[in-house]
Amino acid sequence: MKVQGKTIVVTGGGSGMGRELTLLLLQKGAQVAAVDINEATLKETAALAGERQSRLSIHILNITDRDAALKFPEAVIGAHGAVDGLINNAGIIQRFVKINDLDFKEMERVFSVNFWGMVNMSKAFLPHLLKRPEAHIVNTSSMGGFLPVPGQTAYGASKAAVKLFTEGLYSELLSTNVHVTAVFPGAIATNIVVNSGVDMGTAASSANQSKIKMTLPAGAAKIILDGIEKNKFHILVGSDAKMMDFLTRLMPERAAKIIYSQMRSLLPE
């Protein structure tokens, strides 16, 4: 779906990939409804939009609040007249610890945002998207959604759920006007750790900064929008995601062991 002239909702629009997606969509001539739980960062995104702010609306929303999410399309349609696309980008990670050391409340919070928040928004907007001449739903999974990452097992499980939900939705909507795409970012240089409210630990933070080659958010946004405009089924973001996707399909056990060897020193004993 070409985005020019379309109205697109972007969750997590206050920072990182969500902010860059918002700004690039505006640059490409789309109208954007940027959504975030953080009002201050949303206003920063709006300021960065400059003269394109006339095509941008910002909305404070907790996507885990199902009632609020289900009512939210009214606000978007009220601001823009219609809605043509939804990019479910918002997400959080867990503390960098093994499942044995992660309590149920933390795991439930990760699933609440990453999976149920995405489901809430998809269910809210799908009836409206089905009425459009052409529409698109884009759900952000993760490289961790197809590859086990020790210390991020609950996060990975939530993103695997996003993957299968998105692929199922794709199949259900094949005969409709709504395209569906799953996005699999590798390591992206965002502030997701801060936004998630977790402590990754000194070792993990240092390793992430020094050893892992990260894709910049602006580059990730370009890859994602290029994929959207080509109606891609899957979008892999970053050389790490592409390489591990290949290895996982070819040698899944070997791929798991490679990641374990890279991550084991970062895990608390």
135-147 pLDDT, tens digit each:
999 999 999 999 9
pLDDT at 203: 44
Q: What is the chain written as a DSSP string?
A: ---TT-EEEEETTTSHHHHHHHHHHHHTT-EEEEEES-HHHHHHHHHHHGGGGGGEEEEE--TT-HHHHHHHHHHHHHHHS---EEEE-------SS-GGGS-HHHHHHHHIIIIIHHHHHHHHHHHHHTTSSSEEEEEE--GGGTS--TT-HHHHHHHHHHHHHHHHHHHHTTTSSEEEEEEEE-SB-S-HHHHHT----HHHHHHHHHT---B-HHHHHHHHHHHHHTT-SEEEESHHHHHHHHHHHH-HHHHHHHHHHHHGGGS--
- Residue 18 contacts residue 38 (beta carbons within 8 Å): no
Tokens of 57: 């609306």
pLDDT at 211: 56
pLDDT at 193: 55
In the chain, % of residues over pLDDT 90: 87
* Residues in Cβ contact with 265 at an 8 Å cutoff, skipping those fewer than 6 apart: 203, 207
Pick the closest to residue 8 from 129, 170, 103 (CA basis). Answer: 129
Query: Mean pLDDT over residues 4-28, rounded?
Result: 98
CATH of 7-266, one of 3.30.1510.10, 3.40.50.10420, 3.90.650.10, 3.40.50.720: 3.40.50.720
Residue of higher predicted confidence among 209 and 102: 102
- Determine the distance from the C-alpha atom of residue 264 to the mean position of all C-alpha atoms in its chain, rounded to a whole number: 26
Residue of higher predicted confidence among 45 and 191: 45
Provide the pLDDT confidence category of residue 241 given band limits of 50, 70 and 90: very high
- Annotated catalytic residue, options 72, 125, 146, 155: 155
- Residue 109 contacts residue 95 (beta carbons within 8 Å): no
- Residue 235 contacts residue 224 (beta carbons within 8 Å): yes
Query: What's the whole-number average pLDDT of the chain?
Result: 93
Active site residue 260: no
Model pLDDT for residues 124-136, shown as the tens digit of each residue: 999 999 999 999 9
pLDDT at 51: 96
Query: Mean pLDDT over residues 27-31, rounded?
Result: 98
pLDDT at 189: 85
19-23, 29-33, 169-173, 265-269: least confidently modelled range: 265-269
Q: Distance (Å, rounded) from C-alpha 59 to C-alpha 162?
A: 23
- Residue 30 contacts residue 3 (beta carbons within 8 Å): yes
Model pLDDT for residues 176-228, shown as the tens digit of each residue: 999 999 999 999 986 655 555 555 554 444 444 445 678 999 999 999 999 99
* Residues in Cβ contact with 156 at an 8 Å cutoff, skipping those fewer than 6 apart: 142, 144, 145, 147, 148, 149
Q: Distance (Å, rounded) from C-alpha 262 to C-alpha 239?
A: 16
User: What value, to the nearest 5°, has the Cα angle with vertex 258 and ends 253 and 264?
Assistant: 115
| Domain ranges across the chain | 7-266
pLDDT at 199: 58
Query: Mean pLDDT over residues 53-65, rounded?
Result: 98
